[in-house]
Amino acid sequence: MNKTILFILFIVLSFSGVSQSKQKKILIVSTNVDTVGTNVSGTYAMEIAHPWKTFTDKGFDVDVVTPKGGKAAIYNAAKTDDDIVQIQNNEAFIKTTTNTLSPTQVNPKDYVAIFYPGGHGQYFDVISDERIAVIAAAIYENGGYLGTAGHGAASILDIRLKNGKFLIEGKRMTVFPLWAEKEWMNISNFGKLLQFDMQEVALRRGANLIVCTKATIDDNTLTRVIDTKNRMVTGSFARSAKWVSEEDGEDDGYLNKVVSAFIDMS
């Protein structure tokens, strides 16, 4: 079960015919920063494209917010799957990501959930934008849901609730592992261009952190974490987002368990 499907289940099951008092809107947080060092960066395309399509297919209105508004910085891998390219060429997707909202245009009361896709650009604008942090805290404290994919978890580390506590304190969650940053991420010069290690910061902020090792990378329970009680879904990697619009397939048994859990919760 990938993290984006889990997040969608959170929202769909809780707001489709259960809570009609709230508008069916979801906020996705992207970045305006399109380079890190000399490397092209921003929000990783698969992590925003697939969620956008699935949310809209399910009948949700989707807004994208960036610190400056305007065009979101979205980048692709060297080889991009055709389904992602198709979404990126969708007129509505282009309109939404080219004309993103600025924080001053966002009313947190309008949204039932907020989703943070991954990418490194956010390290240089979203993370330090207190306006977006306030919006996220308000959506969450209004009963909304919060989801992150890959590096998206870095953007929620400093969010504080009204009681002064960090939002992630006591929450079950995962992040993109430090070992993977050091081995795979040439965009960040293998972590050297980043201001902090989100794995270490999440632990200091009091998160109940679950992180896979290189040996346990195929264990879904360590890379796709759902905290039902606290309305949070986090995933370690971007790669499983490709399944966001596909059939349940081999995950059907686990999917049914998650569905049952959310029905009971709602």
Given a cut of 60, whether residue 19 has pLDDT beyond it is no
Please give the distance of CA 262 from its chain centroid, rounded to a whole number: 19
The tens digit of pLDDT for each residue in 198-224 reads 999 999 999 999 999 999 999 988 888
Please report where in the chains the tokens 């960040």 appear, as a residue: 188
Task: Give CA–CA dist 148/41, Å, rounded.
Answer: 18
Average pLDDT, the chain: 84
Higher pLDDT, 16 or 72: 72
Mean pLDDT lowest among 12-21, 22-31, 77-86, 240-249 = 240-249
The tens digit of pLDDT for each residue in 113-127 reads 899 999 999 999 999
pLDDT band at residue 55 using 50, 70 and 90 as cut-offs:
confident
pLDDT band at residue 255 using 50, 70 and 90 as cut-offs:
very low
Given a cut of 70, whether residue 154 has pLDDT beyond it is yes
Task: Give CA–CA dist 98/92, Å, rounded.
Answer: 10
Sign, CA dihedral 252-255-261-266, equals negative
Given a cut of 80, whether residue 108 has pLDDT beyond it is yes
Identify the CA nearest to 177 among candidates 207, 200, 148, 199: 199
Given a cut of 90, whether residue 141 has pLDDT beyond it is yes
With a pLDDT cut of 70, the percent of the chain lying above it is 81
The vertex-264 CA angle with 107 and 60, nearest 5°, equals 35
**Cβ-contact 126, 155 below 8 angstroms:** yes
With a pLDDT cut of 90, the percent of the chain lying above it is 61
Task: Give CA–CA dist 100/36, Å, rounded.
Answer: 21
Please give the distance of CA 155 from its chain centroid, rounded to a whole number: 9
pLDDT of residue 5: 60
pLDDT of residue 36: 96
Which pairs from 75-78 meet CB under 8 Å and 24+ separation? 75/34, 75/40, 75/41, 75/42, 75/43, 75/44, 75/45, 75/119, 76/45, 77/44, 77/45, 77/46
pLDDT of residue 220: 83
Task: Give CA–CA dist 154/159, Å, rounded.
Answer: 10
| Model confidence, pTM | 0.86
pLDDT of residue 51: 85
pLDDT band at residue 82 using 50, 70 and 90 as cut-offs:
confident
The tens digit of pLDDT for each residue in 158-193 reads 999 999 999 999 999 999 999 999 999 999 999 999
For 229, phi and psi rounded to 5 degrees?
A: -60, -40
pLDDT of residue 138: 97
Task: Give CA–CA dist 254/148, Å, rounded.
Answer: 20
